[in-house]
Amino acid sequence: MFKKKRKPLQSAARKLITIDSPMSVISEQFRTVRTNIHFSTADQELKTIVISSSTPNEGKSTCAANISVVFAQEGKRVLLIDADMRKPTMHHTFQVSNRAGLSTVLTRQGALEDVLHETQMENLHVMPCGPIPPNPAELIGSKMMKTLIEELKQKYDLIIFDTPPLLSVADAQILSNECDGTILVVNTGATEKDSAVKAKDTLQSANARILGVVMNNYKLAKDNYYYQYYGTAE
């Protein structure tokens, strides 16, 4: 069913710090994100998560990949879907083919088993975007998407969607309404407050369940406990 497992590549390792440097400060913070997600959904089974940002270049795709890794490290069977059908990146991160993916399944031009790829991380599979379609929002909001999500829930413990920025297009807003929770990534010191607030309002208008916010590129002081304890760990 799955494509041959790929060996870890340097280009992927640079982005996947949770694999390359699991005892680093950043990897520990991704595990903290995982723990906080567990706490936020204690009374509800969480099967689908949307990860987005307000604007481009906030690090949402890198966060999505690393959050997927730490859940897989926990033993969950995880699928990471590149639902950014405008500027996909996951096929680069995990070094898989993008000739077929989410877009081909949603347009019935390819079979599901042909677009699920194993990764260098046990328990983690990735579905790339596939060819960029002319109508991403329509595909995201289609009945076929709902059917696909329900089918994948039977195969995986957790499905994580990397989506386009909320203030750029409607894709993430549409998908967040169908999923169990949404995480907003904010680039510390770069994201404008108004943009973050508008992104939150956009999710609320879609009746999305906001699990929390990931503050990306936050700088820890060298006297911080986590910096001292994990900062020099190999």
132-151 residue pLDDT tens: 999 999 999 999 999 999 99
At 216, the pLDDT band (50, 70, 90 cuts) reads confident
Q: Within a domain: residue 4?
A: no
Distance of CA 39 to the CA centre of its chain: 19
Q: Within a domain: residue 122?
A: yes
In this prediction, residue 200 carries a pLDDT of 93
Q: CA 182 to CA 60: how far, in whole Å?
A: 12
Q: Within a domain: residue 80?
A: yes
Structure tokens at 86: 């405008």
At 190, the pLDDT band (50, 70, 90 cuts) reads confident
Q: CA 206 to CA 177: how far, in whole Å?
A: 6
Query: Is this model's pTM higher than 0.85 or not?
Result: yes
Q: Within a domain: residue 230?
A: no
What's the N-to-C CA distance of the chain in angstroms? 36
Is residue 198 pLDDT above 80, yes or no? yes
Q: Within a domain: residue 232?
A: no
| Domain count across the chain | 1
Q: What's the mean pLDDT when you consider all of the chain?
A: 87
Is residue 97 pLDDT above 50, yes or no? yes
Better-predicted residue by pLDDT, 205 or 191? 205
Percentage of residues of the chain with pLDDT beyond 70: 86
| Residue range(s) defining the domain that contains residue 208 | 10-219
Is residue 43 pLDDT above 80, yes or no? no
Q: Within a domain: residue 52?
A: yes
Q: Determine the average pLDDT of the residues in 106-133.
A: 96
Q: Determine the average pLDDT of the residues in 174-194.
A: 90
Q: Determine the average pLDDT of the residues in 5-26.
A: 67
Q: CA 30 to CA 67: how far, in whole Å?
A: 6
pLDDT, one tens digit per residue, over 46-56 is: 999 999 999 99
The residues pairing with 124 across neighbouring beta strands, listed in sequence order, are: 78
CATH number assigned to the domain comprising residue 142? 3.40.50.300
**Bridging pattern class, strands 210-216 and 78-82:** unpaired
